Structure 1
Amino acid sequence: MSNSIVYDANRQPRKLGTQIGSGGQGNVFILHENPNIVVKVFAPNKLQKEGKELREKITTQIKMSDLIKEPYLTWPQIEVFDHQGKWVGYAMKRAQGEPLSKLAHAMLYPKSFPSIDRTGIVKILLNFLKTTKKLHERGIYIGDVNLGNVLADPKTYKTYLIDTDSYQVTSRSKIFRCPVGRPEMTPIEHHGQDFSSVTRTVESDLFSIAILMFQCFMLGLHPYSQIGGGNPIENLRKGNFPYGKGNPAPGQEGALPSGPWYTIWSHLTFNVKSLFIRTLKNGVNDPSNRASITEWERVLKRYYWAMDEGHNTKEIRPSHPKYSQDKSSQSRSSSN
């Protein structure tokens, strides 16, 4: 559909430029007249099956004008139509950056984030949490939290939340649910269910967010990866989080995998590790035990301070484990 025309609600033609994204839901194009705006055109089969409900949801999102103004949120702004006047999608601001899937990757992060160190990862996560917190305050939940749905600027470490049309939003008494998700990122209370019928909550987002942050710190390793046992999804369902006291020793069945993982984990501050353990071990079957965004913000800011003061390494991949006393709880400081 590149170089074709869509129309706004006033029947004004808008030329589409280069296609920059595609998927099962549809395609995304740069607006020819303004490269800072992109247009998402839904696939014909998507419109045929879900067009009425989808348009109702997008219209509801467009009415949330304060979120359109959020600089790091690619929120639907205006509806777009084809030459016959049929609704086909919407326009939104264009996000800039690299997906977190390239940050949480041992081979890709040096190319995509060439100057980053561990303080940069903390900045990225704090910026992500700041925007997510605003959504939660509005009763909006991401649902499909994953490394591909967040972009980070390699220079400023600002983050952009994309694919927001899948978020769970509520209009009066009607809930527009998030119809997609990934089992390896989903809390067990929602496993085995059709995502389109699942009502997401603050607690379900918090569980998924903890997994995403763990992967960013651990070069993409899933928190439920371990020696032996099942795959990460099976281990998640059993609550087998192989970090912290009381777990099998390195190399044994059920322990964290061989590689740099123990060393990387050891350099996280005690408070950061404690929130991961609380959320991903104790919080598996008890959603009320999952760390809040406010708690994460507090400990990550302290972690930043600890690195800035030289108490913790800034290295992405330290060469030796850390055994010295944790200093992160001795002061508070903002990394923004």
Structure 2
Amino acid sequence: MNSVKRCDRDHISYAASDYLLGHIMSNLIIYDEQRQPRRLGEQIGRGGQGDIYALAENPNIVVKIFNQEKIQERGRELREKVFVQIRVLEDLIKSPYVTWPQIEVFDSNDQWIGYAMKKAKGLPLSNLAHPMLYLKYFPNIDRKGIVQILLHLLDTIDLLHKKGICLGDINLGNFLADPSTFKVYLIDTDSYQIRNGSQIYPCPVGRPEMTPVEHHGKDFRTITRTIESDLFSLAILMFQCLMLGQHPYSQVGGGNPVENLRKGNFPYGKGNPKPGEVGSLPPGPWYIIWSHLTFNVKSLFIKTLKEGVNDPSSRASVKEWRDVLQKYYFAIQRDYNTSEIRPAQPKTSRDSEDHS
């Protein structure tokens, strides 16, 4: 494979080096693929895999420097995957909403240390899917705006799925929404599961509360994600965005969300325990908000998060979600459904009673 040959060039060493870390932090100089020096600006992010810096000469470009431990542990694998993203899937570099790796970066010893990418705009969806923070960070948003954000996110995920890419680690922290445009930017894309011929580069990370049951109890580095597993995680994320951050498997008694997820105990819809009983939805505004969702939106949540727990084939597709959310958007626009994010009273109509 060409990527392996390219990655073996320049006798790159992945050994741990105190000098490497000290060099980066003291001088803030990295080198691009033409071995031209580039000065880093302020640090704008930090994660388990590495740190993110703005490029001093162009703040619209950021650089991810992998942690020394990660380079020591998985350096060859990380670089090979990033190389495939840059060279084989290069058309995604042009996507304005995907922070795809653009060029490799090196230290002064010619050691590979990370990559450069476009800077994403916006704030984490965790600030939107929160009963208080959305008022501070998204002050002008209503329910119609939330639906716009989800529709835009679905379009970008559909683009990736059509290229055989699975996101894997879908959670509220890995998507940024612009409060002024309601566009969504995808970050942490080097964790995505990608393919190059028969070679699969897995998504090595994930959160149990966002992960379908078929992947529980397994090392994420050894599993193959599917579109269906992405659809399950995506449904949880969209539920959280529409329900002020509430996890769909939170309930009265009966264990934590991860335990309830594994059992398929989704407390919304007909046939569930009455409010206050064990297994019912938790106290708070959740029933009221749920009642204001359209019948079709509620149906897809039930289809995916209840019926689809142990049957991946029954999970709602991106197209199905897009169709029902588009109709939900128009229903809000025409005042058939409330635009309030936190309505005070439940909706009393046949639409809400069908899946109450």
TM-score (norm. length: structure 2): 0.91
2:322 pairs with 1:297:
yes
2:85 pairs with 1:55:
no
- The secondary structure found in structure 1 opposite 2:351 is coil
Pick one of 51, 54, 78 that aligns with 2:103: 78
- The corresponding residue for 2:188 is 163
Change (3 A) 1:124 1:2: farther
Pick one of 8, 24, 44 that aligns with 2:48: 24
Q: State the Cα deviation string for residues 138-161 of structure 1 (Å, max 9, x = none).
A: 000000000000000001000000
2:156 pairs with 1:123:
no
- Whole-Å Cα distance in 2 between the matches of residues 231 and 24 of structure 1? 25
* Alpha carbons 1:62, 1:78 under 8 Å: kept: yes
- The corresponding residue for 1:312 is 337
2:252 pairs with 1:223:
no
* Alpha carbons 1:2, 1:16 under 8 Å: kept: no
**1:3 Cα offset (Å):** 5.5
- Whole-Å Cα distance in 2 between the matches of residues 9 and 308 of structure 1? 50
Unaligned residue ranges in structure 2 (runs of 5+): 1-24
- Whole-Å Cα distance in 2 between the matches of residues 326 and 255 of structure 1? 21
2:201 pairs with 1:176:
yes
**1:65 Cα offset (Å):** 1.5
- The secondary structure found in structure 2 opposite 1:250 is coil
- Whole-Å Cα distance in 1 between the matches of residues 95 and 351 of structure 2? 37
Q: State the Cα deviation string for residues 207-234 of structure 1 (Å, max 9, x = none).
A: 0000000000111100000001010000
- The corresponding residue for 2:213 is 188
Q: State the Cα deviation string for residues 46-83 of structure 1 (Å, max 9, x = none).
A: 00110001000000000111100001000000000000
- Aligned partner letter, 1:318: P
Q: Rg: which structure is higher?
A: 2
Q: State the Cα deviation string for residues 245-291 of structure 1 (Å, max 9, x = none).
A: 11011111100001100000000000000000000000000000100
TM-score (norm. length: structure 1): 0.96
- The corresponding residue for 1:334 is none
- Whole-Å Cα distance in 2 between the matches of residues 218 and 307 of structure 1? 16
- Whole-Å Cα distance in 1 between the matches of residues 58 and 250 of structure 2? 44
- Whole-Å Cα distance in 2 between the matches of residues 17 and 229 of structure 1? 49
- Whole-Å Cα distance in 2 between the matches of residues 125 and 193 of structure 1? 29
Which structure has the highest helix share of the two? 2
* Alpha carbons 1:60, 1:171 under 8 Å: kept: yes
RMSD between superposed Cα atoms in Å: 0.9
Pick one of 267, 270, 273 that aligns with 1:245: 270
- Whole-Å Cα distance in 1 between the matches of residues 262 and 337 of structure 2? 33
**1:26 Cα offset (Å):** 1.0
**1:24 Cα offset (Å):** 2.1
- The secondary structure found in structure 2 opposite 1:73 is coil
- Whole-Å Cα distance in 1 between the matches of residues 196 and 78 of structure 2? 13
- Aligned partner letter, 2:105: V
- Aligned partner letter, 1:102: N
- Whole-Å Cα distance in 2 between the matches of residues 127 and 106 of structure 1? 22
Percent identity among equivalent residues?
69
- The corresponding residue for 1:147 is 172
